[in-house]
């Protein structure tokens, strides 16, 4: 998701870009109450992310994984079916660099 990059077209929070990221990185271990070490599956690089304070409730609802088994483990959808990155403040570097097709 590109919620706050320099994209000239706003992200519509469809969640498509995050729906297959479970193939790119995964959770290796829980490192704190709301903190997780993730690892990029190809490079082996690790990074620690933390669930944003205001997204903890939604994070613990994991029903999304039934519908999107390959989704990023931190992707959730709110009551309006808009995608939410629950680790937005500490999101992986790859997500920070991602430039959505809609933004080109
Ligand atoms: S695919 Fe593009 S518009 Fe949809 S959530 Fe990702 S960045 Fe936003
Ligand atoms: S960490 Fe956030 S932005 Fe990155 S794939 Fe997961 S939900 Fe999307």
The Å distance, Cα 75 to ligand 2 centre, comes to: 6
Q: What is the pLDDT of residue 5?
A: 46
H or E segment to which residue 59 belongs: helix 56-59
Q: What is the pLDDT of residue 82?
A: 96
SS3 content of the chain, % helix, strand, coil (to 5): 25, 25, 50
The Å distance, Cα 44 to ligand 2 centre, comes to: 18
Give yes or no for residue 93 having a pLDDT over 90. Answer: yes
The Å distance, Cα 61 to ligand 2 centre, comes to: 16
| pLDDT tens by residue, 65-92 | 899 999 999 999 999 999 999 999 999 9
Best mutation site among 91, 93, 100 for ligand 2, i.e. most ligand atoms within 8 A of its Cβ?
91
| pLDDT tens by residue, 15-72 | 999 999 999 999 999 999 999 999 999 999 999 999 999 999 999 999 998 999 999 9
Domain ranges of the chain: 16-103
């Amino acid at each position: 998701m590109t919620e706050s990059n320099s994209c000239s077209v706003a992200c519509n929070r469809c969640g498509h870009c995050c729906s297959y990221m479970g193939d790119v990185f995964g959770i290796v271990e829980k490192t704190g109450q709301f903190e997780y070490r993730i690892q990029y599956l190809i490079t082996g690089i690790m990074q620690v992310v933390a669930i944003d304070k205001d997204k903890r409730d939604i994070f613990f609802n994991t029903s999304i994984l039934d519908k999107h088994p390959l989704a990023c483990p931190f992707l959730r959808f709110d009551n309006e079916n808009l995608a939410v990155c629950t680790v937005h403040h500490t999101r992986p570097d790859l997500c920070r660099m991602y430039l959505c097709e809609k933004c080109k």
